[in-house]
Amino acid sequence: MSLKEKAYLPAILGGMKITLKHFFKKPVTIAYPEKKREFSPVYRGQHVLKRDDQGRERCTACGLCAVACPAEAITMIAAERKRGEENLYREEKYAEKYEINMLRCIFCGLCEDACPKEAIFLTDRIVMPEPKRNNFVYGKDLLVETLENRIDVSQRQIKSYTVEK
């Protein structure tokens, strides 16, 4: 070591200069509840089950998403559409019960890729923390979008994201 290094002090002062510089920099922290970080358009958060333009549920309970799911997070029970329910479900078969276990899900997005009906999409919403494990099994009440509050997935439908190059 040279004398300058042995004396410690120049190095210490150099370090202090660096920390002082940071003292006057703007903090990079995002104060979460007030300010939210912008997500990338390909962010994969909580799922949504889409309705079509007439407000009917698109899912036909084909089960392809459940098969595609590597984490086996999706379970569903199919039912037949009754007469008079045409305004509720688009196909003759629909998911009477559709559940995703958010603790199992790894947000890979394969369910979205597998779906032939463009019914399931991952969105930029965050799965909220819960004190009880059972509450993480999301049913249709949480997954299906409401008519008043449609969830925008147009970004995910752009070809460059969905089709492999």
Partner 1 sequence: MWFTVSLVVILFIICLGGAAYETWMERKVAALMQDRFGPSRAGKFGLLQPLCDGGKLFFKEDFVPRNAEKWLFIISPGILMLIALSTGAVIPWGKSLFIAGVSYPVQVASIDVGVLYIMGIVSIGVYGIMLGGWSSNNKYSLLGAIRASSQMISYELAMGLSLLSIIMMSGTLDLRVMVEEQATNLYGISFLNGMAWNVFYQPLAFILFVTCSFAELNRAPFDLAECESELVGGYHTEYSSMKFGTFLFAEYINMFINSALISTLFFGGYSFPYMNKLVENGLGENWIGIISILAFLLKIVFCVFCFMWVRWTLPRFRYDQLMRLGWRIMIPLAILNLLITATVVVFT
Binding-site string for ligand SF4 from residue 81 to residue 120, where x marks contact by CB under 6 A and - marks none: -------------------x----xxxxxxx--xx-x-xx
Cα–Cα distance between 51 and 156 in angstroms, integer?
16
Q: Which is nearer to ligand SF4, 25 or 76 (CB)?
A: 76
Interaction with partner 1 in 29-88: which residues (CB under 8 A)?
A: 29, 31
Q: Which of ligand SF4, partner 1, none does 78 bind, CB closer than 5 to 8 A by kind?
A: none
**In whole angstroms, how large is the CA radius of gyration of the chain?**
24
123: number of CA atoms within 13 Å, CB side?
18
Interaction with ligand SF4 in 43-62: which residues (CB under 6 A)?
A: 59-62
Q: Minimal distance in Å, beta carbon 57 to ligand SF4?
A: 9
Q: What is the DSSP string of 96-159?
A: EEEEEETTT-----HHHHH-TTS-EEE-SPPPPP-SSGGGGEE-HHHHBPPSSS----GGGGSH
Instruction: Give the residues lining the site for ligand SF4 (CB under 6 A).
Output: 59-65, 68-71, 73-74, 100, 105-111, 114-115, 117, 119-120
